[in-house]
Amino acid sequence: MIRRLALALLLIGWMSGSAAAQMPICGFTDSVGFPVDPAAFVIVQGYGAASFRHQGRYHTGEDWTRRDDPSAAYGEFVRAIGDGRVMFASPSGWGADGGVIILEHTFRDGSVFYSMYGHLTDATGAAFPALYTCVRRGDIIAAIGDSRPAPHLHLEIRVNNPTTPGAGYVWDTPTRLGYRRPTKFILNWGAQLLDAYRWRLDLGDETGPAVTPILLDDSSLITVDRLRLLRIHANGGALWRVNLAQPPLALARDGAGVLLITPDGEVVRYRIDGTTGERWNIGARLGRALSAPDGLLLYTDDGAWLHYDPIGRAVHWQIDGLPPPADWVVSPVGALVRTIDQQIIAVDAGGALLDRAQLLEAAALALDRDGMPLVYARGGLWRVENGIWSSPLPFAPAGGARAAVYADADGYTLFDGARMLRYTRAGSGVWQAILAPTGGAARLQRYDSFYLLTSSGGDLAVVRAIDGALCRQTRVFGDHRSRMWAGLAADGGLRLHAADQVAAFDWGRLLGACQG
C-alpha cells in the first residue's frame, strides 16, 4: 500500500513537472496591441516596400511616426505588444541608427513569434529591459530615438532569429525569410485571442473578397481566392478548391450551388461538390459585376450596363454610355447606382434614366422600409423615389465615404464614420454609440435586436438596437485595397471575409453582456 502511494505521488510529481516544463518562462501571450498609439502615429514605410535608399531592397517591418509632426516622435514611449521574454536588448544594437529590443511571444497553440523594435534610445530616461527578463503587454520598454530621416519606430514580427537585430532590409521577399506584416499580425491575433473566436482560414489574396461570397444553408461558404473557387466547411476547413482560368467577376446562388460569371461573359454552374455543370455565354465581355438579390449589374467592355438575371438567363434592361458602377440597390420601381466617379444614377424598372447627381465623395446606399432607395452622403440622408430626392431626416449628420445606413419600420440608424445614431421616423434622436476609429467603407446589417457594423478596414462592431449599447468592437486585418463581407450562418457563427482570410466568431459570445 505504501509502495503504491509513493508510486502515485511520484507519478503526480512527474506529471506536474512535465506540465510546468511546457509553460513558457514568461507565461503565454494572451493579448496583443500596438507599441504606439495608432490614433497618433501613422505608418510611413510599409512592410515589404522597396527602398530607394537601400538599393531597392525590401523593408522587413513597418516604420511608425507621429501623424502631426514626425520630429515630435523623438522620446515617445515604445510599449511591448504582448507578454514575452526579452531575447535581445541593446541601446547600440543598430549603431548610429539606435537601439534594438527583441521579445519572444509564446501563444497557447504552441506558436512562437518575435517582435523587434528598432531606432530606440534610453537617453530620455526609459531604461531598456534586462536580457531574459519578462515584460507584460503595454510595458514601456524604451523610447523612440533620433533616427534617419526623422524619428520613427521600426517594428518587425518574425518567426526566427530571436537574438539578431538584422538589417531592416532584404533582397528576398521578407515573408519567405520568416518576417510577417506587423499590423496584420497584431490585428488578427488580437481578434483570434477573443473568447468569441472560432477559427480562421488563411487565403492568398489580400485584396479579397474579390466577389460577394455565398453562404449556404449548411453554414459552409463558397468564395473566391485569386484564381481559385473554394468551399469552406462550417469548421473552417477547405472542402474543395477549383482552379480557374481567369479571375471571376461575380457569384450568384443557384439552388444548392453557385453560378460563376467570368470576364469573357461566360456563366458556369458549380455544384455543391465542386463539379461543373451547364455553362453558357451572356454574349459580351465584362469589366465588372455587382450583386443584388434579384440579379446582377454587369458592366461591359464597351460601356453598357446590363441588369441580368443569371437564373432566368434574361437581360431585364440595358443602358449604353455610362460610367462603371461601384455600388447599387434595387427597388420595386427600379435601381439606384453609385458610379466609380461618384455619380448617383436613378433608373426605372425598364432601364430608363430618371436622374443623375454628382457627389463630392462616395456615399452609402440602402433601401427604406418600403423598398425605396436611400443615399447617405456628405449632404445628409436622402430618399430617392422615381428620381425625386427628399430628406427624411433634415438634421442628419453628414455621411460620406465611411458612412452606412439601415432603415426599418420604426426609424433610421446611421453611422457617420465615428458614431452610430438612431432616429425615429419623425426625426427625433433616440441614442448614439461612440465607436473606436474605423477605416474604409462601412456596412450596417441587423440581426434580431443587434446591429452589426463592418468596414473594409477590417472593423467589426456589435451594437444593441434598443439602447445603443456597444456589445463588442474588434478588428481584423484589412487595408485600402480590401473589401469586407460578413454574414451570420445557421450554426450561430458570424463569418467574415476580409483581405486574405475568412474568420468565424461565435455570435452569442460577441453579444456578451448585451444578451441580458
pLDDT at 20 over 80: no
pLDDT at 60 over 70: yes
Which of 239, 325, 308 shows the shortest CA–CA distance to 267? 308
Are the C-beta atoms of residues 457 and 439 closer than 8 Å to each other?
A: yes
Q: Tell me, what's the pLDDT at 272? A: 94
For the chain, the domains span: 41-185, 194-236+435-516
Separation in Å, CA 338 to CA 9, 208, 244: 73, 21, 30
Question: 354-365 in b/e burial notation, b at 16+ Cβ within 10 A?
Answer: beebebeebbbb
- Tell me how far apart the alpha carbons of residues 479 and 335 are, in angstroms, rounded to a whole number: 29
What's the grid cell of residue 447?
440581426
Mean pLDDT on 497-502: 93
Mean pLDDT, the chain, rounded, equals: 92
Question: 138-154 in b/e burial notation, b at 16+ Cβ within 10 A?
Answer: eeebbbbbebeebbbbb
Q: Specify which of 2-16, 139-153, 474-488 reaches the highest per-range mean pLDDT.
A: 139-153
Q: Tell me, what's the pLDDT at 15? A: 41
Are the C-beta atoms of residues 135 and 129 closer than 8 Å to each other?
A: yes
pLDDT at 339 over 70: yes
Are the C-beta atoms of residues 244 and 251 closer than 8 Å to each other?
A: no
Q: Tell me, what's the pLDDT at 7? A: 46
Give the Cα-Cα-Cα angle 113, 114, 116 (nearest 5 degrees): 150
Q: Domain 41-185 falls in which CATH fold?
A: Glucose Permease (Domain IIA) (2.70.70)
Q: How confident is the model at residue 1 (pLDDT cuts 50, 70, 90)?
A: very low
In this structure, which amino acid lies at residue 110? G
Q: How confident is the model at residue 299 (pLDDT cuts 50, 70, 90)?
A: very high
Range in 43-57, 107-121, 437-451 the model is least confident about: 43-57
What's the grid cell of residue 454?
463592418
Q: How confident is the model at residue 277 (pLDDT cuts 50, 70, 90)?
A: very high
Q: Tell me, what's the pLDDT at 34? A: 98
pLDDT at 6 over 70: no
Q: Tell me, what's the pLDDT at 16? A: 39
Q: Residue 91 phi/psi, 5° resolution?
A: -65, -15
pLDDT at 311 over 70: yes
Percent of the chain residues topping a pLDDT of 90: 84
Q: Tell me, what's the pLDDT at 302? A: 92
Give the Cα-Cα-Cα angle 44, 50, 52 (nearest 5 degrees): 90
Q: How confident is the model at residue 214 (pLDDT cuts 50, 70, 90)?
A: very high
- Tell me how far apart the alpha carbons of residues 317 and 349 are, in angstroms, rounded to a whole number: 8
Percent of the chain residues topping a pLDDT of 70: 96
Q: Tell me, what's the pLDDT at 23? A: 87
Q: Which is it for the CA torsion 464, 470, 472, 475, positive or negative?
A: positive
Question: 413-429 pLDDT, tens per residue?
Answer: 999 999 999 999 999 99
Are the C-beta atoms of residues 41 and 55 closer than 8 Å to each other?
A: no
Q: Tell me, what's the pLDDT at 21? A: 43
Environment class of 292 (CB within 10 Å of its CB; exposed 0-12, middle 13-18, buried 19+): middle
Q: How confident is the model at residue 106 (pLDDT cuts 50, 70, 90)?
A: very high
Identify the DSSP state of 216.
-
DSSP string, 455-484: ETTSEEEEEETTT--EEEEEE----TT--E
Q: Tell me, what's the pLDDT at 148? A: 79
What's the grid cell of residue 320?
449604353
- Tell me how far apart the alpha carbons of residues 100 and 66 are, in angstroms, rounded to a whole number: 20
Q: Tell me, what's the pLDDT at 392? A: 94
Question: 347-371 pLDDT, tens per residue?
Answer: 999 999 999 999 999 999 999 999 9
Q: Look at residue 241 and give its three-state secondary structure.
A: strand
Q: Tell me, what's the pLDDT at 320? A: 95
Q: Tell me, what's the pLDDT at 17? A: 39
pLDDT at 407 over 70: yes
Mean pLDDT on 40-66: 91
